[in-house]
Structure 1
Amino acid sequence: MKVLLTGSTGYIGRRLKQKLLQDENIILRLLVRNKKSITPNLKRSVEICEGNSFDVESLKKALEGVEIAFYLIHSLNRSDYKNLDKISAQNFLDAAIYCGVKRIIYLGGLGIKNKHTSQHLLSRIETGEILSSSDKIQTIWIRAGVIIGSGSASFEIIRNLTEKLPVMTTPKWVNTKTQPIAVFDVLTYLYSSIYIEKKENIIIDVGSEQLTYKEMMLQTATALGLKRYIIPLPFLSITLSSYWLNLFTPVSYGVAKALIEGLKSEATIQNDNAKIYFPNIKPTSYIDSVKKAVDEIRNNQVVSRWSDRFGSVWDKDYTEEIAHAIFVDRRVEDISNFSHEKVYKSFISIGGEFGWFDYDFLWKTRGVIDKMIGGVGLKRGRRDQLNLRIGDSLDFWKVIDVQENKRLLLLAQMKLPGNAWLEFKIDGDKLIQSAYFYPKGLLGRLYWYILVPVHYFVFTNMIKSIIKKSKTLT
């Protein structure tokens, strides 16, 4: 059968894509904003349609001949995401009906509508309601709570707080109940939904044992072999708590705020449909989910991360913007006596745990400043310390192009009065390192000129250190 997967570059989408490719009965088609986000090897295994859920014609093309469509789309990174999510869901539903799709499978969140429901969860619920609103097509609506897996936003928050803070002061909502679920269990439910024989719309709530967020953090400490103390405080507001998470965890302020708002209402299972339709799936316990996630991190086996999603990264043609960058800091070194392959390996391993060479403290200082003003900071690190793919986060950069043994192009995602890129390119026997900056107004120009002395030392050291490090690689 032909299956369409949306959101294939996101946290769940990347993992589900791998699972679907293992099924020989499935012809997999991906709907992506930009074909560049698909690796060359994968392009040989899937059909690719370029477009998005706001372009009706591209939706119809993507859904033509499809029997099952996975809807893993949301617009959380946009300020008007609630309205955009409604438009997106309705467009998708209409196009699916027009193309004769038999089934939509949607992943939403646990929870019910009440006065405490967060705007983010409310949007997820409304999306499910729209997708389930027609009797002309079946929608299977999987509802999951906190997803526990290497790279998930919720797990990154819980793990970072538990590892860094022996004593935690938390909001009163830390006592809210939820039912967490392992990411590999979520994938099993989604994949198994393809083969459900029922034809009517179904809502399936999934999760493991009921736990409060406090209990989850204490169990995480146990899994990590740590002793932790948690003190709930009634006066910690959503805003204060969001800044707290922004400073001590890898997530941005916006993501932290959306997650904390969700703590106000319980997210527990409301039906037994998971047991009815999937009696052979036994959800993994919370503590075992944590142990598996930690093992994946330690063994460098993280398939996807919460920060993988591109969002507006593909909304612009950066090739033209870079070409017209007003400020460029370029360094060139002769690498005729060095292995080009090792030089490439050296510059794609930059950042994360390996840091930024001799001036790493300056990068860390910039990361702290970025966090304090609501940016992403350096704490995102890397998914994989030795390999990069388009869409990966690298500290406060995003990988927008990587060509083996040739090029790495990074887009700055820190708070800046302008747009910035960092490029490493092997051209013949030359290693060319370029920092591009397109300023916004007078402030952007002042920003660049103030940092010129810093750039001199940092970028000169960087290119020389990359070459030096290449000599130590095997």
Structure 2
Amino acid sequence: MRVLLTGANGYIGRRLKRWLQAQHSGSLRLMVRHRASISQDALDDCEVVEGDVLKPQTLTSALQGVDVAYYLVHSLAAGERFKELDRQGAENFRAAAIAAGVRRIIYLGGLGDKDQASEHLVSRIETGEILSSCPDDVQTLWFRAGVIIGSGSTSFEIIRNLVQKLPVLVTPRWVSTKAQPIAVDDVIAFLGQAASLEVAGNRVIDIGSEVMSYGEMMLATARVMGLRRLLIPVPLLTPRLSSYWLALFTPVPYPVARALIDGLGSEVLVRNDEASRLFASVPLSYEEAVRRAIAEIERDQVVSRWSDAWGRAPEASMVEGIAHAVFVDRRVRQLGSCTPGQVFASFTTVGGETGWFRFSWLWGLRGLIDKVLGGVGLRRGRRQMCDLRVGDCLDFWKVVDLQENRRLLLMAQMKVPGKAWLEFVVDDGQLLQTAYFYPSGLWGRLYWYLMVPAHFFVFNDLANQIMKRAATLPGRVLPAPE
């Protein structure tokens, strides 16, 4: 059996890829928009093709010879046109799958009723309807899940951050809305087993564990974390205010928070028993799912995060764009007795819980301003403390190039009037730390000049502290397995 996995760089996709590599006896093909976003380990173990569901001409070769295709694509990060793009992508993929003779499409959407759902959830439902619309030509197994609980998932990161930071939780009315959460491990197991499931015809398979309100989820999370928390529901909080509240206190940016809040007004409950009839496994309880998620975080073993798919995937233009930068701020430091591996290990562990050295408060202030402006802010952190891969988010940066023991290139994803990059290169016995900026209009140029004083302190300290820490580190850090 040849399996195609789309969305291989997303939250579910990365985890499903690992499951299929370990459990699946056939061949696995990954479809990504940009080959550079796949780690060397995955390139060695899987067939990788470049394709885009919005570019039908790229799907022919991606689907050739495929028996089962996973559709894990969505366009929420594309902005206001996400519904239109979701429909177009699903139609393109269905047509290409039928033309290629694909036997089965497996899709993961969301629980909920279309007439009561938010725009985001309606789009997920419409995607399932489109993929399922030609049952005589291709079978579709449409899984529907609600709140997914796992390290790095959007829902869990929001709940965990609120519970961890706020002793008293002033909450809107949606905390009483009922849902059926499910552990990410269960989601992956259901999806993985579906490839070889012996069943005829299209199926809609709802998955979830116990029925809980969002307030009960918060209090259960607090119990697992050993915390005592008080919930005070306040009916006056509007969806807009609730979205800003989530954006300020959790890692998610405002657009994601608003999409989630809009969907919390209606219940997301399992409507059929297909999962229990077709599969032998019983979903984990909510508290056990939380325990597993926290254990992964504490052991620094987070496989994927919600932000993996946020923003554009790394592409050549992101790497080459620095050649067009108008403003450049470069700091040069001699390696001295440090090896290139030590310096590489030092600058690839900046950000996240490690912070940005003495001027972390300035970075934090910039992140807060970004949050207020509707940006991603600084709280996204990083997936793991000692490992980076192309496509990872690092606070308000995205990793667009990584060359072991030589280079790290970050592209800014904060709100900025232009395009910005931060580069670290080890070359000829030196550390070259360079900030590049391509301004947009007059305001972009004014922004750069206004930031020059802060850059003087921040970038000088950053280069100095990277070298200071490098002297204390081992000579080489190997990336964690994919």
Query: TM-score per shorter chain, which class?
Result: over 0.9
Instruction: Indicate conservation of the 8 Å contact 2:34/2:313, yes or no.
Output: no
Instruction: Indicate conservation of the 8 Å contact 1:346/1:470, yes or no.
Output: yes
How far apart, in 2, do the equivalents of 1:340 and 1:261 lie?
A: 49
When the two structures are superposed, what TM-score results if normalisation uses the length of structure 2?
A: 0.96
Instruction: Indicate conservation of the 8 Å contact 1:9/1:310, yes or no.
Output: no
Question: What residue in structure 2 maps to residue 322 of structure 1?
Answer: 322
Question: What residue in structure 2 maps to residue 82 of structure 1?
Answer: 83
AA matched with 1:80:
R
Classify the secondary structure of the residue corresponding to 1:22: helix
How far apart, in 1, do the equivalents of 2:204 and 2:51 lie?
A: 28
Aligned residues: 472
Question: What residue in structure 2 maps to residue 470 of structure 1?
Answer: 470
How far apart, in 1, do the equivalents of 2:301 and 2:25 lie?
A: 27
1:384: Cα distance to partner? 0.5
Alpha-carbon displacement from aligned partner over 1:100-154 (angstroms, at most 9, x marks no partner): 000000000011112x310000000000000000021000001001000000000
Instruction: Indicate conservation of the 8 Å contact 2:314/2:390, yes or no.
Output: no
How far apart, in 2, do the equivalents of 1:253 and 1:244 lie?
A: 9
When the two structures are superposed, what TM-score results if normalisation uses the length of structure 1?
A: 0.98
Question: What residue in structure 1 maps to residue 229 of structure 2?
Answer: 228
Classify the secondary structure of the residue corresponding to 1:73: coil
1:169: Cα distance to partner? 1.4
How far apart, in 2, do the equivalents of 1:195 and 1:5 lie?
A: 15
AA matched with 1:440:
S
Question: What residue in structure 2 maps to residue 300 of structure 1?
Answer: 300
Question: What residue in structure 2 maps to residue 277 of structure 1?
Answer: 278
Instruction: Indicate conservation of the 8 Å contact 2:318/2:400, yes or no.
Output: no
Alpha-carbon displacement from aligned partner over 1:393-439 (angstroms, at most 9, x marks no partner): 11111111111101000011111011100000011211111100011
How far apart, in 2, do the equivalents of 1:378 and 1:230 lie?
A: 26
Question: What residue in structure 2 maps to residue 254 of structure 1?
Answer: 255
Question: What residue in structure 1 maps to residue 453 of structure 2?
Answer: 453
Classify the secondary structure of the residue corresponding to 1:415: coil
Question: What residue in structure 2 maps to residue 351 of structure 1?
Answer: 351
Question: What residue in structure 2 maps to residue 109 of structure 1?
Answer: 110
Classify the secondary structure of the residue corresponding to 2:73: coil
How far apart, in 1, do the equivalents of 2:71 and 2:450 lie?
A: 46
Question: What residue in structure 2 maps to residue 286 of structure 1?
Answer: 286
How far apart, in 2, do the equivalents of 1:24 and 1:291 lie?
A: 27
- Aligned ranges for residues 73-472 of structure 1 at < 5 Å? 73-78=73-78, 79-114=80-115, 116-134=116-134, 135-278=136-279, 280-309=280-309, 311-314=311-314, 317-472=317-472
How far apart, in 2, do the equivalents of 1:265 and 1:48 lie?
A: 39
AA matched with 1:202:
R
Instruction: Indicate conservation of the 8 Å contact 2:399/2:408, yes or no.
Output: yes
Question: What residue in structure 2 maps to residue 33 of structure 1?
Answer: 33
AA matched with 2:205:
I
Question: What residue in structure 1 maps to residue 5 of structure 2?
Answer: 5
1:310: Cα distance to partner? 5.1
**Runs of 4+ that moved beyond 3 A:** 313-316
AA matched with 2:377:
G
How far apart, in 2, do the equivalents of 1:449 and 1:256 lie?
A: 33
Listed as ranges, the gaps of 5+ residues in structure 2 are 475-482
1:271: Cα distance to partner? 0.2
Instruction: Indicate conservation of the 8 Å contact 2:319/2:401, yes or no.
Output: no
1:82: Cα distance to partner? 0.4
Listed as ranges, the gaps of 5+ residues in structure 1 are none
Considering only aligned residues, what root-mean-square deviation do their CA atoms show, in Å?
Answer: 1.0
1:338: Cα distance to partner? 1.2
1:454: Cα distance to partner? 1.2
Change (3 A) 1:24 1:70: closer
1:336: Cα distance to partner? 4.1
Classify the secondary structure of the residue corresponding to 1:344: helix
AA matched with 1:290:
V
Instruction: Indicate conservation of the 8 Å contact 1:139/1:202, yes or no.
Output: yes
Instruction: Indicate conservation of the 8 Å contact 1:101/1:137, yes or no.
Output: yes
How far apart, in 2, do the equivalents of 1:17 and 1:102 lie?
A: 20
Change (3 A) 1:314 1:354: closer
AA matched with 1:396:
F
Percent identical among aligned pairs is: 56
Change (3 A) 1:2 1:338: same
How far apart, in 2, do the equivalents of 1:320 and 1:349 lie?
A: 24
Alpha-carbon displacement from aligned partner over 1:336-389 (angstroms, at most 9, x marks no partner): 421111110000000111111111111111111111111111111111111100
